C-alpha cells in the first residue's frame, strides 16, 4: 500500500504518516500536542506522502462501503424470494460501475 496511516495503540489520538517509498520513515505526526513534521524531508515530499496515505485510506473505506451496500441489496433480493429483481439489478449496477472486472462476478 502506498503511504499508510498508522494509528498508535498507546495514544489513540496520534496519527503517523510514513514516507511513500520506504513506509518506515515518519514524515509527519498529528497528535493532541500538535503537528510534527520531519525536518530532514522536503515539504513537497512530505505533502505527497500524506496525500498518498489519505487517498489510499479513502479508497479502502469507499470500497468497503460499496461492498456493504452490494451485500445488503443481495440480501434484500434473496429475502424477496427472487419474485422482484429490483434488488439484484441495483446490486449489479453498483458492481458494474465500481468494481474492477476481475472482481465483478
Domain that holds residue 97: 5-103
- Alpha-carbon distance of 37 to 46, in angstroms, equals 8
Whether this prediction's pTM lies above 0.75 is answered by no
More confident residue, 6 or 58: 58
Render pLDDT for 67-92 as a digit per residue (tens, 0 to 9): 888 888 788 777 777 666 777 777 78
**What 8-state DSSP symbol labels residue 8?**
-
Render pLDDT for 6-32 as a digit per residue (tens, 0 to 9): 555 554 678 888 887 777 888 998 888
Number of folded domains that form the chain: 1
Cell numbers standing for residue 13: 489520538
Amino acid at each position: 500500500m502506498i503511504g499508510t496511516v498508522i494509528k498508535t495503540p498507546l495514544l489513540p489520538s496520534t496519527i503517523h504518516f510514513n514516507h511513500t517509498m520506504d513506509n518506515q520513515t515518519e514524515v509527519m505526526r498529528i497528535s493532541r500536542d500538535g503537528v510534527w513534521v520531519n525536518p530532514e524531508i522536503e515539504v513537497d515530499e512530505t505533502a505527497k506522502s500524506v496525500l498518498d496515505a489519505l487517498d489510499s485510506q479513502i479508497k479502502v473505506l469507499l470500497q468497503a462501503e460499496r461492498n456493504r451496500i452490494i451485500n445488503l441489496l443481495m440480501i434484500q433480493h434473496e429475502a424477496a424470494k427472487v419474485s422482484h429483481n429490483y434488488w439484484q439489478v441495483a446490486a449489479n449496477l453498483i458492481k458494474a460501475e465500481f468494481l474492477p472486472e476481475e472482481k465483478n462476478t
